Each structure stands twice: as C-alpha cells, then as structure tokens.
Structure 1
C-alpha cells in the first residue's frame, strides 16, 4: 500500500520514531531539533504528532530549514544569521527548551544544546560523530541536572513507521528530492554527496 519512496524510508523513519520516543515529549514542551538532514526532517514529522507547545529546528542550510517548516516546525533558526540562545530565551522566558535532540553529528551541536536546554531538561543524542566531542560536564550535573538519553536505530518501531506512512501521518515527500534509474547510479551518488539533495532514490526500471 506504500509508494516506493515511502517504503524506502521505513528504516530511517523507525530511527526517528525511536528517537522521539526517547525524548518523552509533553504537550507543553518547547522542543528543539538540531539538524535538518533526512533524519532530522523525519523527526520533525514525528515530533509534530506529539503536539508540543513549540517545535523549533536549527540548521545552516536554508533549503532544509524551509523543508522543516513544511513538515511541521513552528520556527527555524539558522545560527549563521541568528542567535539561537536569544531566540529560545524569548520563547521560554529565558528558562530554556525542555527537550533538545541532537542530530547534526558535529561537536557544536552538543555544546549548543547544553546552552539552550533548561534545568532538568531532556537531551537526546542521536547522531554519530567523526571525532571526539568535548563538553563541560558540570553543566550536566552541577548546573542543570540534565537527563542525557541516547538513541540508536529503530528497535520495535518498524511496524509503527509502516502504519504512520500508511495512514498518511508521515511522508517521504520533501525528503526524497531526487530519483534516478539504476544505470544512473554514478550521477545519483554524486548528487547524494552534495547539499543539492536531501535523499536520493535509485529506482529499478519496471519490466
């Protein structure tokens, strides 16, 4: 019953669902998702279903921020243009966001989150890093008493992902931005490794 585009995203959507489950989002939460790549955009869709008070997405790529708005974000922040701390403080009476989900894969995404999150907030770490990340752990304990939660893959979430796709509550539209036939694989991989695409699908030729 699913399109090929939706079906191809079942695995990463399951990862997004597991991550959002780990965040334990409540109705009155201000939620920040850092990173609007394919996984981040899927997390936006799933987090929107939890109806938080405010859903904010942070990224450096304007096209991806626009996609996040289309998928349900209430507000987007480009840190190269705006001060994320000032904006989050303005939304929370300077208290900080309730939930911060890190899916950038860069060290700055971690330190940014420790700054933006409120005391007793929930910090969910999803991304994989290419190098060690340093942070002031006194923020986690002494200053804010944070809950640090990891999220890995999509355990028990495949049936949920399939059901959400089937009911039209999540979609690949806007995430699968380009489709190629198998014999165009070189062009497809080149595009996939650029910022000119979000997700590229190789589609077998029908017979």
Structure 2
C-alpha cells in the first residue's frame, strides 16, 4: 500500500517539455511522478527561463566542466531550474518533517542536487559537487511542467505564498547574483561597477546595494534596463553605446579605476572592458555562461595590475537573504519580471529570451496561465 501523503486530487498525467536534442524541445503528456520516501511533489507555480537554458537549447552552454559531456541538456529530461511550487504530496511524513514544511506550503529549490558524498560536498562546497546533477540539465527533471519531483538530496527554501509566482521564482537568479556579490568582498569605500542590467546584473546591483559601497555603477546598452538598475540601487548609469565606460570610470576615480568589477553579460567584450577599467589590486568577479571562448591579455591581470580574478557559480548560502529581499518588496519586480507565458508557449518564451530587441528582462513560464 502506498504511503504517499496528499490532501488534494492529483491527476495521473501532466504536461511537460522534454529535451530531444539541440533546438528540439517538445511539449509532451507524461505520468505525474509519485514521490518516494523522503521526496516531495510540487505543483509548479512558475519557472524562469535563463540565458543558460537558451544556450543549452542551442547546444552551446559548455558549463559542465567536462568535455565528454554534451553541451546541451540531457536528452529525455525536462528543463527548468528556476522554480517555485506548492507542496501537494510527500512520499512519507519524514519528507515533510525533515524539510519543516506542510502540504500547501510554497518552496523554492536550489538548482544543484548535490551527491553529499564527493570531496566538495564533504568539505561543505556542495555547489561544486563532483557529479553536478542539476534540475533541468542533468540527472533530475526540471520544472517546465505542471509538476516536479523534489528528490531527497535537494535543497529547499520556504517562500511566501502571497508573492506572485514569477517574483518568487526570481529567488534563483537573485541568489546567484548575491553569491557573486559575496565573492567580491565589497568594502564601504569601494567603487563597484556591474556590467549588464539583465536579470543577473540587476540582482548583483541589488545585492551590492546591501553592502553600501561608496559608488555603484551600472553598465548596459539599454536605457530602459539602466533605469531598472537605478531602481535596484545603482548610483551612476553608463550606456556603453554612447560613452566609453573605461574613460568614464577613470574620470570618476581620479584616474585610478574601479575597486570591483562584476561581469554579468556573458559577452566576451565585457571581460576586457573590466580588466581595463579596474584599478591596480582590484577585484574582478565573473558570473556568466559564455557561448564563445574569451581571450584576454593576461599581462593586465598579472604584471600590470596584480588583479584578484574570481569566478562565481550558482547561489550557495545566498537563498535565504535573496528570498528575504524579494519578500521585502523593495525590488521593482513587476518591471524586472516582464513576460509570463503559459506552458504551451514555452517556445515563445525561449525565443523571447534570445531576442535582444524583444524588450524582455526576466521571462517566466507559469503553467496555470492559459
């Protein structure tokens, strides 16, 4: 006899997007998964569409760190790693008790599903887990579906049920942004430059604002996105199509350059831009998934400036403050979360993320929309 706990009727089948290969994602009818011991079943509230989703869709997101793995998401898997959902079933009471949740609660799940056995996990660096299974990419189905299964190894966080689902799902990119901010070790007298005012860049600006640096400068090619950057906390806005960012930053810093540069565009030109506008002994934080290889003059990093160059991956230990910031209502989330699509229009959502002229900032899929 099944020990599944639920207080609502759950259908036998659901809609789900399934990966068949690069540029071949299909909406399919699948059985609703049944949670086993320690597992939860969520009814998906919203799932954000990330630039990495798009790069995987086109077969160009080489972020696995293993050349033997394909550049696209695992065939047969359902994509979608930025999601929130409502707990509608549990494999047993322990699944609820362990996570301190009840049926009907809303939770967000971290992107990575750690193995908890590799060297990185055992040392506390779970976000660098060796197998690196992630919702929607490898190992576990994501949330471009009506329901998603939460395995026992996954990390979950409660989210206020009264927040719009697309706003609540923004907790994933915001946690990533806040991890990049933590890596930067921002000080009160720092001049901080953030390249890119897309979802990650806006989150970086919001997170950096919490550190209260002396000046917070946003760079982008869009005046509309720069206005959002101002609302998220930027002091100075630079449209790089009209101004030379390197010259302007040096003018603002008596010729020295910025203390911190956080790259959140994924465009190769933004890397050399950052190296050139940083002061000596400055800090460069990279948070992007690049489509193409990036080449820079490493002499700038070493002999010229002795820079601190740091990477940032996922959003470890940043989910609670990210969710708290969303719940505070201080972010202009109605203007950040610009487009929501029903599940049937997943392809339109992917295409809009790839359309630089489409006017979108954060695109989400909300399965309950019709």
1:92-126 deviation per Cα after TM superposition (whole angstroms, max 9, x unaligned) = 10010000001111111111011100011010011
1:3 aligns with 2:3: no
Residues 134/192 of structure 1: CA separation in 2 closer, same or farther (3 Å cut) = closer
Equivalent residue in structure 2 for 1:93, among 254, 275, 295:
254
Q: Secondary structure at the match of 1:194?
A: coil
1:52 aligns with 2:213: yes
Equivalent residue in structure 2 for 1:188, among 337, 340, 349:
349
1:129-166 deviation per Cα after TM superposition (whole angstroms, max 9, x unaligned) = 12221111111111111111110001122222222222
Unmatched runs of 5 consecutive residues or more in structure 1: none
Unmatched runs of 5 consecutive residues or more in structure 2: 1-159
Shift of 1:172: 2.6
In structure 2, distance between residues paired with 1:142 and 1:108:
21
In structure 1, distance between residues paired with 2:303 and 2:337:
43
Counterpart in the other structure of 1:117: 278
Deviates more, 1:187-196 or 1:135-144: 187-196
In structure 1, distance between residues paired with 2:312 and 2:204:
12
Q: Secondary structure at the match of 1:58?
A: strand
Conservation of the 8 A alpha-carbon contact between 1:34 and 1:102: yes
RMSD, aligned α-carbons? 1.8
1:161-194 deviation per Cα after TM superposition (whole angstroms, max 9, x unaligned) = 2222223344533210122333444443333332
Please state which structure has a larger fraction of its residues in helix: 1
Counterpart in the other structure of 1:15: 176
The answer to which structure, 1 or 2, has the higher relative contact order (CA under 8 A, 6+ apart) is 1
- TM-score w.r.t. the length of structure 1 is 0.92
Structure of higher CA gyration radius:
2
